[in-house]
Amino acid sequence: MAQDISLYQQFNGRYDYTAIGNTMNTEENGLGTSCSILTSSSANFNLESDQTIVAAYLYWAGSGLGDLDISLNGIAISAERSFEDSLDPNRVFFAAFADVTSIISTQGNTEYTVSDFDLNSVISTYCPTGTNFGGWAITIIYEDLSLPLNQLNVYDGLQSVPTFLNINLDNLNVLDNENAKIGFVAWEGDSGISVNEQLTINGSVISNFPLNPANNAFNGTNSFTGASNLYNMDIDVYNIQNNINIGDTSATIQLTSGQDFVMINNIITVLNSQLPDATLTTEDYIVNCGNNTIELNYTVYNNNSTATLPANTPIAFYYNDILLGQSETQNIIAINGSESNSVLLTLPDDIDSSVTVVAIVDDDGTMNGIITETNEDNNITTFNVDLLLIPEITTLPLLIGCNEGFETSSYNLYDAFLGIDYEESDLSFFTTLEDLEANMLPILIPSDYTNSFNPETIYARMDSPPCYEIFQFNLTTENCPPYIPQGFSPNNDTHNDWFNIQGLYDIFTEHELQIYNRYGDLIFEGNNSKPWFGKINRGLNNIGSIVPVGTYYYILNLNDSNFQPMMGWVYVNY
């Protein structure tokens, strides 16, 4: 039923700790003289004026399944976490945890009383085997600016002996082992039982004689106060300067006991360590419509550290384990400092509109770090990106214009959107899709546009937040029936001086024009390069002369399979 001891919290800075607590037993269990247990007990707490409380953790434990609701100086406390262990099905034990930082910080140096801690309903069944106990301890982490830069790790769980217990403490970093120490909160140790009881770290026996002799480490004492009447609980601390080496990243704790049942609930290590701790957050990002490139804003922090973070610390960005891009810090980042920057990342084509990107600080692009940190497990962050995908291009019906010469015509491009609801200010037109996507070189006067090709494709961009829609349509030029006037006056006054058949010249370029007088004589033949200015160019007489006032008849053969020859009259006057 035990829960393995593991890292709960890490503090990096000028930190150390102390601990207070007390037992609920009136005497050491197993003596057989009393089976009573208290419901409250007290302990005094005192810090120096230049020491500032950073965190305070309350642990309490006892026989049975537990009282998880107690009081601290009259303030109701409920367990935030709980632990269990057992010797056998009939001897079950509990431990509980609550963060009481706010209470200790507010009340400061004073006496602390745990009350409403009642195990009376279960305690009698444990007395015959000497396993009846209850107690509490508060671990207080504080900052003292006169201290060296330390790494303080809080481990907890609930593991027990007899006969052998092995605990591996990871996430250590030892820069200097001077004044290195390790502390324990343990339950149910007996001062009168010392059969093969031995505590070692990295294979070396540790002790604190006379309070904690080498053969009886857990014997109801508090190393911080020198008290030896914490019946069946221990608040112990040991100097391990000679038991841990510079560069160590883990330590092995071993506890053996031939008879005494001991449960380890809390372990704290304090080691001199000067290392940075790089973490990364993504702030926001910018994407453009129809573009897989992300502009990502991020911040690198050096919090919970004991040294500056070097410049050029690498950062890598991944999608589905594919390296998207890399960056690096630009400057040295101070302890508790940060640096913000941005990076452009291009996602692969043909991906979903919503993707998850992984960002890793202290990553050289191969998922390997180059900086030793206080915590190597907090370099990764993920963030979701929603791309702005463009809908498929919508094709609109073509616009047909009359040929105004050389297969060109004038168009009102807005006519392509008849029947579609839109604001004219939201619509712009382009001659290429590339210009549309870049939103550059729009057609300046869409209401009067002359085509450059026949046919010509026009692209339209309609704003539709957060993105836009794309339309396309063709412009087609066709020959329309020419308009033939019924008169003209070739008098060189620059007004109506020739037989101006509109929609004919440079449109029906192969046309043939014949003019006859009232007697049926052919007096003029013209074509695309030879319009009629009222002069005669056929017949035996009067070639080059201006025709007299009168009515003349024409035959216009457009030489276009879509049109029949046209016949009619025209009146010439001066």
pLDDT at 15 over 70: yes
* Block residue for tokens 């996507």: 437
Q: Give the pLDDT confidence of 338-365 residue by residue, as tens digits.
A: 999 999 999 988 788 889 999 999 999 9
CA–CA separation, 182 vs 269, rounded Å? 4
Q: Which two tokens stand for residue 65?
A: 């399944």
CA–CA separation, 323 vs 472, rounded Å? 37
**Which comes out higher in pLDDT, residue 399 or 540?**
399
Beta bridge partner(s), residue 314: 328
The pLDDT value given to residue 167 = 83
CA–CA separation, 150 vs 176, rounded Å? 9
pTM: 0.61
The pLDDT value given to residue 173 = 66
Task: Indicate the SS3 state at residue 274.
Answer: coil
Report phi then psi at 558, rounded to 5: -75, -15
Q: Which amino acid is at 435?
A: D
The pLDDT value given to residue 379 = 96
Distances (CA, A) of 145 to 270, 316, 335, 437, 463: 15, 36, 14, 59, 59
Q: Please state the rounded mean pLDDT for residues 115-138.
A: 96
Count Cβ atoms below 10 Å from residue 223 Cβ, excluding itself: 19
Whether the Cβ atoms of residue 518 and residue 547 lie closer than 8 Å to each other: no
Q: Please state the rounded mean pLDDT for residues 157-167.
A: 87
Q: Please state the rounded mean pLDDT for residues 150-160.
A: 93
pLDDT at 490 over 90: yes
Average pLDDT, the chain: 92
Whether the Cβ atoms of residue 417 and residue 427 lie closer than 8 Å to each other: yes
Q: What pLDDT band is residue 176 in, cutting at 50, 70 and 90?
A: low
The pLDDT value given to residue 289 = 82
Q: Please state the rounded mean pLDDT for residues 389-412.
A: 91
Report which of 226, 72, 252, 286 is spatially closest to residue 170, judged by C-alpha positions: 252
Task: Indicate the SS3 state at residue 178.
Answer: strand
Alpha helices in 45-123 (DSSP H): 101-107
Whether the Cβ atoms of residue 396 and residue 472 lie closer than 8 Å to each other: yes
The pLDDT value given to residue 234 = 95
Q: Please state the rounded mean pLDDT for residues 83-106.
A: 96
Rg (the chain; Cα; Å): 47
The pLDDT value given to residue 496 = 93
- Percent of the chain exceeding pLDDT 70 equals 99
Q: Give the pLDDT confidence of 199-212 residue by residue, as tens digits.
A: 888 888 888 888 88
pLDDT at 323 over 90: yes
CA–CA separation, 73 vs 96, rounded Å? 17
Q: In degrees to the nearest 10, what's the CA dihedral of 497, 502, 506, 510? A: -100
Strand ranges (E), 74-175: 75-78, 81-88, 91-99, 111-115, 134-144, 150-169
Q: Which two tokens stand for residue 433?
A: 């899709």
The pLDDT value given to residue 460 = 97
Q: What pLDDT band is residue 177 in, cutting at 50, 70 and 90?
A: low
Q: Please state the rounded mean pLDDT for residues 21-50.
A: 93
Distances (CA, A) of 205 to 32, 202, 264, 267, 397: 32, 9, 17, 17, 90
Give, as one character, the DSSP assignment of residue 277.
Answer: -
Distances (CA, A) of 555 to 133, 383, 514, 559: 126, 78, 5, 12
Task: Indicate the SS3 state at residue 435.
Answer: helix
Report which of 111, 96, 109, 92 is spatially closest to residue 22, judged by C-alpha positions: 111
Give the containing element (helix H, strand E) for 271.
strand 251-272
Report which of 128, 126, 107, 121 is spatially closest to residue 20, judged by C-alpha positions: 107
Q: Please state the rounded mean pLDDT for residues 360-373.
A: 93
Report phi then psi at 436, rounded to 5: -65, -50
The pLDDT value given to residue 1 = 64
Task: Indicate the SS3 state at residue 523.
Answer: strand
Q: Give the pLDDT confidence of 496-523 residue by residue, as tens digits.
A: 999 999 889 988 999 999 999 999 999 9
Beta bridge partner(s), residue 342: 297
Alpha helices in 312-456 (DSSP H): 433-438
Q: Give the pLDDT confidence of 237-258 residue by residue, as tens digits.
A: 998 887 877 777 788 888 888 8
